[in-house]
Amino acid sequence: MKAMRVLVVVLDGASFVFTNTFCWFMEDVMWFWSKFKRTFLYVDEPPLTPCVLNSMFTGLRTNEHGVKGFSPRGLKNPFIGMFKGKYIWDLCTAVGLKVRVFNVPVRIPPIYLNVDLKGHDWVDYWLPPKERFEVTVKMMHEVVKENIKNPYDLFIVWYPIPDQAHHHFFATIHSHEALHEALKWYNTAFKYARELIELSRPDAFLIVSDHGFMCDFESYYADGIRQHIHVRDALAVTNVDDVPKTVRDVFHWVGRRFNL
C-alpha cells in the first residue's frame, strides 16, 4: 500500500455558487480557487447534514444507510431512522491505517477517533449562543490544530461554519452588512482549512461541503415530519486530479487514496 497522508475538511453549508461568485473578495478562498481543482456538487440526497454526511462517509444513499433526518425528540433520539453501514474510517482502521476523526456529526454525540478534545464539549447540531459563537469556533480550531500535529494517515474534521454562522448572522443577504458577514464567515472557514493544510502538509486534501444556504422552495418529509432543508449546492476542492463527482463519492475518493 502506498504511503499517503490524507486530509478531509468538511465546511458545513458552504455554497459553491456563493463561494465562486464572491471569491475575489475573500483572500483565503482565492488561495484555493487559484491553485487547486474545484467543482460544484449537486446534492442528490436529502439536503440535510446528517443525511449527507452519512452518505459522504459510507458511499451509500440515504435509503441505504437509514439516517433520514432530524427527529423532534431532540437530544434523546436526534435522528429519524436507524443507521446501517460502515464508515470509511472503520475500513481504514481495519487495514492498519492511523486514522483521526474530529467532530464529525454522523451521529450525536459526534464521532471522535484518536483525538484529544482538551476537555471541551464541541459544536454539533445545536448552535452555541450567538454571543459565544465566534470564540467557541476559534477555540475548536485551535484544538484541531493541536491534534493535526500528531502523525496520521487519514484526518477528517467537520467545521460548523459557514452554516451555523449563516443561521446566526446572515439568515438572508439583504444588505451590505449581511453580505459582509457572509464573506467574513466563508473566508474564515477556508482560512481554517488552509491553516490545517499548511500546518500538516498532507499528500492529498479534500475540502468539501454538504449543502448550501437554507431553502424556502422545496419540501422534504422524513417519516411524515417536515425537515428544514437547504439548497442542493455543495462544493469540493482538492489538490489531486481525482475530483469527487457526488457527495457519496467522497467515500470512494478516500478509498482510492489508499487503494482500498
Q: Is 164 left (phi over 0), alpha (psi -120 to 50) or beta?
A: alpha
What are residue 236's phi and psi, to 5 degrees? -145, 135
What are residue 171's phi and psi, to 5 degrees? -55, -40
Residues pairing with 100 in the sheet: 155
Quote the cell numbers at residue 114: 484518536
What are the pLDDT tens digits along the chain (260 aa)? 457 999 999 999 999 999 999 999 999 999 999 999 999 999 999 999 999 999 999 999 999 999 998 888 766 678 999 999 999 999 999 999 999 999 999 998 899 999 999 888 766 667 788 999 999 999 999 999 999 999 999 999 999 999 999 999 999 999 999 999 999 999 999 999 999 999 999 999 999 999 999 998 999 999 999 998 999 999 999 999 999 999 999 999 999 999 99
Quote the cell numbers at residue 52: 449527507
Domain assignments of the chain as residue spans, ordered by start: 6-257
Say yes or no: domain 6-257 is CATH 3.40.50.1860: no
CA angle 9, 249, 156 (to 5 degrees): 25
- The predicted model scores a pTM of 0.96
Quote the cell numbers at residue 97: 491505517
